[in-house]
Amino acid sequence: MHDLKNKIVVALVALLALGFVACAGTSENSGAKDAASGSNEVSAQVKDALYEGQQQDKQALLEIMFNNFIAAVREGAPADTLYAFLTDTSEYWLDTLENHARTYNAEAIDTCQFYEAYSIILYRLYEREHLWATDEDRMLFMMLSKSGMFDRLTNLPLGPMKVKNDRGSIGLAKSPEVPIMIFEWDDKEWKLNLPETIPLITKGIESIAVKKNWTARKLALYWIEKEYRMTYSRLDESLLEPIGF
């Protein structure tokens, strides 16, 4: 009987010991999980803070870039200076558009978007009226020179800069959430994406074509006639054909 009691006591002690170990293990695991959870929360907060700081830095750089760009346009900066503010796709787009202005006939212009047709016809008006101040980079000059297409179309109060990741934008003060200019982060600096920007600038004008059921070509001629009728004559379909370049 005495041996049996001893065995029972030993068994109880063993069970209690196992219980203590299990509780200790559970407590340790719970503590480890809490520590890991807290660490993850801190890590997420650090990442959020770093991201927010990067976005603020990018916004400050975008504002500086934009002010420098506007100053360069209004001071009549040379082509190399202006190209430095543009994306590589912008330079390629300007070259392609200038080639179209030299070669496209009326039928080919019908395949263009409004902003392309407008640029082509305006380029030909510059050519016919001898308005060029340069022998090279003429489409760039027409777009970005002082009182050029870009300067005239954006000579309105602008809203605040917006930055999201590697994309930046700016809208008009009266509708700041609607972008009219698009910028791209190029490794360490901002660049203006011209082929994405020009369609946004001319979007309001394009609504006329929708209302009147006009082609882009007809709207482009109408708008150029509206802008230049007090200065130049023959703002008509003769501008739809190449001008002996």
Q: pLDDT by residue (tens digit) across 189-204? A: 999 999 999 999 888 8
The answer for residues whose C-beta is within 8 angstroms of residue 204's C-beta and 6 or more apart is: none
Mean pLDDT throughout 224-245?
90
Secondary structure of residue 30 in the 3-state scheme: helix
Element (H, E) at 41: helix 2-74
Per DSSP, what are the bridge partners of residue 169?
162, 182
Q: Is pLDDT above 70 for 26? A: no
Sorting pLDDT into bands at 50, 70 and 90, what band is 211?
Answer: confident
- What is the rounded CA–CA span in Å between residue 84 and residue 86? 6
pLDDT tens-digit series, residues 39-87: 666 677 777 778 778 888 899 999 999 999 999 998 889 999 999 999 9
Cβ–Cβ < 8 Å for 125, 224: yes
Q: Does the pLDDT of residue 133 top 80, yes or no? A: yes
Cα–Cα distance, 177 to 164 (Å, whole number): 13
Q: How many CB atoms lie within 10 A of CB 122?
A: 23
Please tell me the predicted confidence (pLDDT) of residue 12.
Answer: 34
Taking the C-alpha atoms of residue 120 and residue 56, their distance in angstroms, rounded to an integer, is: 39
10 — pLDDT class (breaks 50, 70, 90) = very low
Please tell me the predicted confidence (pLDDT) of residue 107: 94
Residue 79 CA to residue 70 CA, distance in Å, equals 14
Q: Residue 13 pLDDT > 50, yes or no?
A: no
Residues for the chain: how many in total? 245
Residue 19 has pLDDT above 80, yes or no: no
Which tens digit of pLDDT belongs to each residue from 143-168?
988 667 777 767 788 899 999 999 99
Write the DSSP symbol of residue 132. Answer: -
What are the respective helix, strand and coil percentages of the chain, to the nearest 5? Answer: 65, 10, 20
Of the chain, the percentage scoring pLDDT greater than 90 comes to 57
Three-class SS state of 169: strand
Claim: this prediction has a pTM higher than 0.85: no
